[in-house]
Chains A and B, each alone.
Chain A
């Protein structure tokens, strides 16, 4: 099935550094969602974006809905050890009545204290 291009696949950073990851699509999306998943747990919603150009923050996290509606990025500022986990982007395509989310393959984040 269709998948989003999410990059990078993995990151290993020092505590205190900023992190940036993004997702791109070849088609237009109406909604972008960013989730974090810890091992053995379900994904937890971080930020939801519904309008092109929208920039939304949640604490140290900031995400933007790309103006072309084909991409989104997530930034984490001043990373801490508990930021470790897998981050997934998900989006809802504009075309058709199909309301199934399309998922990225995830970005695995490791933070060195």
Chain B
């Protein structure tokens, strides 16, 4: 149980294009999903908290117009990197929290490379 999927697993795009990443909880309903970014050999950096049916809460320094988050259902959240630039290249990971439990289950991550 508690499986989270992410799609795509990797993507290469040209600078200036937009990229959408999907995060799905496969066997449970997630009222809250989280989007993280991870640089090589570093810990996870929280970008935003996504609550179903409401606007996402962004961490300080994360541009909400740059990283659009939509949490339209209890099993799906999407992160769109708009007008991607090479500095946006990174490993993006989502997680989902089941109900009121504090445990977060992570997706396998999406490797983004912007050329």
Tell me whether B49 is interfacial, beta carbon within 8 Å: yes
Interface of A is mostly: loop
Q: State A1–B60 Cα separation when bound (angstroms).
A: 10
What residue of chain B has the Cβ atom nearest to residue A86's Cβ? B41
How far in angstroms is the closest Cβ of chain A from B84?
20
Contact B102 A42 (CB under 8 A): no
Contact A43 B44 (CB under 8 A): yes
Tell me whether A60 is interfacial, beta carbon within 8 Å: no
How far in angstroms is the closest Cβ of chain B from A57?
17
Q: State A100–B60 Cα separation when bound (angstroms).
A: 13
Interface of B is mostly: strand
Q: State A107–B44 Cα separation when bound (angstroms).
A: 13
Among the listed A99, A103, A105, which residue makes an inter-chain contact with B102, where contact means beta carbons less than 8 Å apart?
A99
Tell me whether A106 is interfacial, beta carbon within 8 Å: yes
Count of chain A to chain B residue pairs whose CB atoms are closer than 8 Å in the complex: 51
Among the listed A42, A92, A99, A106, which residue makes an inter-chain contact with B106, where contact means beta carbons less than 8 Å apart?
A42
Binding site for B on A (CB under 8 A): 1, 3, 30-31, 33, 35, 40-45, 48, 50, 88, 90, 92, 99-101, 103-106
Q: A100-B49, A106-B43 are in contact. Are A40 and B111 (CB under 8 A)?
A: yes
Q: A3-B43, A100-B46, A103-B43 are in contact. Are A42 and B107 (CB under 8 A)?
A: yes
Among the listed A33, A42, A100, which residue makes an inter-chain contact with B103, where contact means beta carbons less than 8 Å apart?
A33
How far in angstroms is the closest Cβ of chain A from B27?
14
Contact A103 B44 (CB under 8 A): yes
Q: State A108–B89 Cα separation when bound (angstroms).
A: 23
Q: A3-B43, A88-B43, A100-B46 are in contact. Are A43 and B106 (CB under 8 A)?
A: yes
Tell me whether B8 is interfacial, beta carbon within 8 Å: no
Tell me whether B6 is interfacial, beta carbon within 8 Å: yes
Q: Which of A3, A33, A45, A50 counts the most chain B CB atoms within 10 A? A: A45
